Every structure is written in structure tokens, then in C-alpha cells.
Copies of this chain bind each other. A is one copy, B any other.
Amino acid sequence: QKTSVQRCLCKGEVNMVRVQRIEKIEVYPASPSCDNVEIVVTLKNGAGQKCLNPESNFAKNYIKRAIKKR
């Protein structure tokens, strides 16, 4: 069984981020280097980044709503 070297970005994940603090969301589909989806949220005002649990309701609802708003 080929043991693939995993280079996932996220170590720990939060289940929620206050929407007003979000500057950008990056979604990394599963890939050879990391076999699960990863979501990295960049916070406003240089407050850094957080990994968001893709399974969290927040991730599912917020991202869906974000791409609907026009």
C-alpha cells in the first residue's frame, strides 16, 4: 500500500469564523499532496488565517450563501 507523503496545510480546524472578519476564503480540493479538502480563511486587518472544518455547518452554509449573494 503506497504510503503517500501528505503535505496538508491545516493541522487544527475551527468550526466557525465571524463573517465580518472574513477577507478571503481559499478552498483547496483534495489532491495528491493532501487527500482531504482544506479551507483556509484569511481574516481582515492582517489578523492572520484560520483553517475551517469543511464538514462544519458554517463552512457549508456560509460558502453557499457567499456565492449566491449578487
Contacting residues, chain B, for A59 (C-beta < 8 A): 67
Q: Is the CB of A25 within 8 A of B22?
A: no
Q: Specify the main secondary structure of chain A where it touches its partner.
A: mixed
A55 to B67: give the CA distance in the assembly, Å: 7
Interface size class of A (residues with CB under 8 A): 20 to 34
A63 to B39: give the CA distance in the assembly, Å: 11
A31 to B20: give the CA distance in the assembly, Å: 10
Residue of B nearest to A27 (CB): B25
Rounded to whole Å, the gap between the CB of A56 and the closest CB of chain B is 9
A54 to B68: give the CA distance in the assembly, Å: 7
Within 14-39 of A, Cβ neighbours of B (below 8 Å) are at 19, 22-31, 36-37, 39
